[in-house]
Structure 1
Amino acid sequence: MTLDPQIADLIEALDSGFPPVHTMTGAQARAAIRSRFVANPAPEPVAAVADHQVPVDNGRIDVRVYRPDAEGPLPMLVYAHGGGFVFCDLDSHDGLCRNLANLIPAVVVSVAYRLAPEHRWPTAPEDFYAATCWTVEHAADLGADPARVAVGGDSAGGNLAAVTTLMARDRGGPGLAAQLLLYPVISADFDTESYRLFGRGFYNPRPALQWYWDQYVPAVSDRQNPYASPLHGDHGGLPPAVVVLAGHDPLRDEGIAYADALEAADVPVTRCSFEGGIHGFMTMPTLDIAHRARQQASRALADVLGR
């Protein structure tokens, strides 16, 4: 297994520059990550971008809707950004969402779920589920097909997408056509082989990944709940999944385990494996491997949604 050459050239700087979030409060970590963000002065064009608000329990959350220049009604992807359940936002994932909208092509609805530790589990998955319900209800207004709605996300967002498929099945809807899971957070197990191999020196260190869980689900007993760790759930009757796996990722093994569990429950799974990738690589647009992964995952999702 070989690290992608472009990543290999950057990994020392990436790893040494990763903020020591496990020594911070949630607000401090959020500020540290936000300070590193540089907006693209020339974002990838899409046909339209519109912001909306969605009612949730005890408040409202923002969503951003991207429509590509394509004839509809289009499929739709409801997307949850990564960031350890603690940071990142609509702006941090603007570039990825624009690109996915054009590549699939689909209407992409990016969801600003409420963040930990101020809003601990299960606020984030309930927010994302509510946004998914809103999206399906308003699909026609958004130029999309309510029968072809997928949920997706990267890292922590992949967790929320996976959990939302469980919620939708358990609660009798909405009907979902697919799930797109990009190196998802699936289980609070820090003793896997991939954690041992890649928990240091590969950009997202084990102390940070454990700290995210401490902020999000501080009660260890709650981490066995399938709505927190979807690996522990019943996986029957879930929608087809496209799962992106990064070879040099502490979360690699839980992603593999989830793909295996879905397949064991007769859920169709498309695995997109990038052995040279690290956790978070698809949001690094300077990397060629990031664009290959976006293209492959988008094609796989389009195939599922076109069935």
Structure 2
Amino acid sequence: MSGELDPQIARIIEALDRGFPPVHEMTGAQARATIRSRFVSAAAPEEVGGVEDRFVDGPGGDLRVRIYHPAASAADPLPVLVYAHGGGFVFCDLDSHDGLCRDITNRLAVIVVSVDYRLAPEHAWPAAAEDVYAVTRWLSQNCAALGGDAGRIAVGGDSAGGNLAAVTALMARDRGGPPLMAQLLVYPMIAADFTTESYRLYGSGYYNPAQALRWYWDQYAPNESDRTHPYASPLHADLRGLPPAVMVIAGHDPLRDEGLAYGDALTAAGVPTVVRRFDGGIHGFMTMPSLDIAQSARAQLCSDAATLMAGVPAGG
């Protein structure tokens, strides 16, 4: 069991849950429009060293990326993190995760490249994963021009983006590169298994309901036979030879158990893995910056990531 909800979350969970849109009753475009209409940009975004939007070649055409440089300057080439936003493979974008990416670039003192990958259902599996991998390959070839170190590239993401980051690590291993230093997986969608204990315990009343999660998979991988492919559900992959991982797990999250299972599987495959449990958290809590637990998780994730991206083996 995951104990009690974080007190700050407990005070707002009913309102959060009540306000979660019934995306499972919508088309992808309707869900996207609904989520976008609720987005409120920060009045004063966190200052960083620089932000640039540009386009890179992707498998389906131009892909927009947003490149963040940290506020603290450094003489040496910086590590680089390719970041995939969450949103159930269907919604969210560069703007929805702008605040988180700004925070990460400053805390980690790395260049963050946020990917505006193609969204389902218009672009079903494996489009999004191929996009994130394509940007990672592009980055490895263009690091120097950005002030980055091609020998220190990591991938990361939250929720559906955590899936895409994990899959990109698999693709990089299987396709001969680029070599990656680390993978940062924040409450990732790892397997289309709706029978876990955490789905039973937290599939209703905890903001990110089971019916929405099922719907996400229906949009992204409508052919159920695809859902066991390692590039859709990394839990089904041979995980040997992957880069070290840092995982953030929310305790009151339907995805808790698949995340923990993935951490165990990575460790069993000999991949140095750190799993950080925030038992009072709900799915999505790290993109709620007013929460103390979100700030704690961001600090912990970046501390662990900094260790990995400095070339130091992962530890507990």
Give the TM-score normalised by the residue count of structure 2. 0.96
Structure 1 residue aligned with 2:294: 290
Shift of 1:175: 0.4
Which of 137, 153, 156 lines up with 1:152 in the alignment? Answer: 156
Query: Deviations along 1:187-232, whole A, 9 cap, x unmatched?
Result: 0000000000000000000000000000000001100000000000
Determine helix, strand or coil for the equivalent of 1:256.
Answer: helix
Which of 214, 220, 224 lines up with 2:218 in the alignment? Answer: 214
Q: How many residues are aligned here?
A: 307
| Mapped partners of 2:100, 2:309: distance in 1 | 19
Shift of 1:135: 1.1
Structure 1 residue aligned with 2:26: 24
Q: How does 1:1-307 map to 2 (within 5 A)?
A: 1-68=3-70, 69-71=72-74, 72-307=76-311
Determine helix, strand or coil for the equivalent of 2:144.
Answer: coil
Shift of 1:54: 1.1
Q: Which 5+ residue runs of structure 2 have no aligned equivalent?
A: 312-316
| Mapped partners of 1:58, 1:288: distance in 2 | 40
Structure 1 residue aligned with 2:314: none
| Mapped partners of 1:28, 1:222: distance in 2 | 25
Query: Deviations along 1:1-23, whole A, 9 cap, x unmatched?
Result: 01000000000000000000000
Shift of 1:81: 0.1
Determine helix, strand or coil for the equivalent of 2:204.
Answer: coil
| Mapped partners of 1:293, 1:209: distance in 2 | 23
Shift of 1:70: 2.5
| Mapped partners of 1:190, 1:105: distance in 2 | 38
| Mapped partners of 2:106, 2:192: distance in 1 | 34
Determine helix, strand or coil for the equivalent of 1:272.
Answer: strand
Query: Deviations along 1:172-198, whole A, 9 cap, x unmatched?
Result: 000000000000000000000000000
Shift of 1:58: 2.9
Determine helix, strand or coil for the equivalent of 1:157.
Answer: helix
Shift of 1:271: 1.1
| Mapped partners of 2:168, 2:113: distance in 1 | 15
Query: Deviations along 1:83-113, whole A, 9 cap, x unmatched?
Result: 0000000000000000000001110000000
What percent identity do the matched residue pairs reach? 67
| Mapped partners of 1:60, 1:219: distance in 2 | 27
- Which residue identity is paired with 1:303? T
Determine helix, strand or coil for the equivalent of 1:115.
Answer: coil
Query: Deviations along 1:97-141, whole A, 9 cap, x unmatched?
Result: 000000011100000000000000010000000011111111111
- Which residue identity is paired with 2:147? G
| Mapped partners of 2:143, 2:8: distance in 1 | 40
| Mapped partners of 1:58, 1:282: distance in 2 | 30
| Mapped partners of 2:73, 2:162: distance in 1 | 26
Shift of 1:150: 0.3
| Mapped partners of 2:247, 2:207: distance in 1 | 21
Determine helix, strand or coil for the equivalent of 2:145.
Answer: coil
| Mapped partners of 2:292, 2:43: distance in 1 | 20
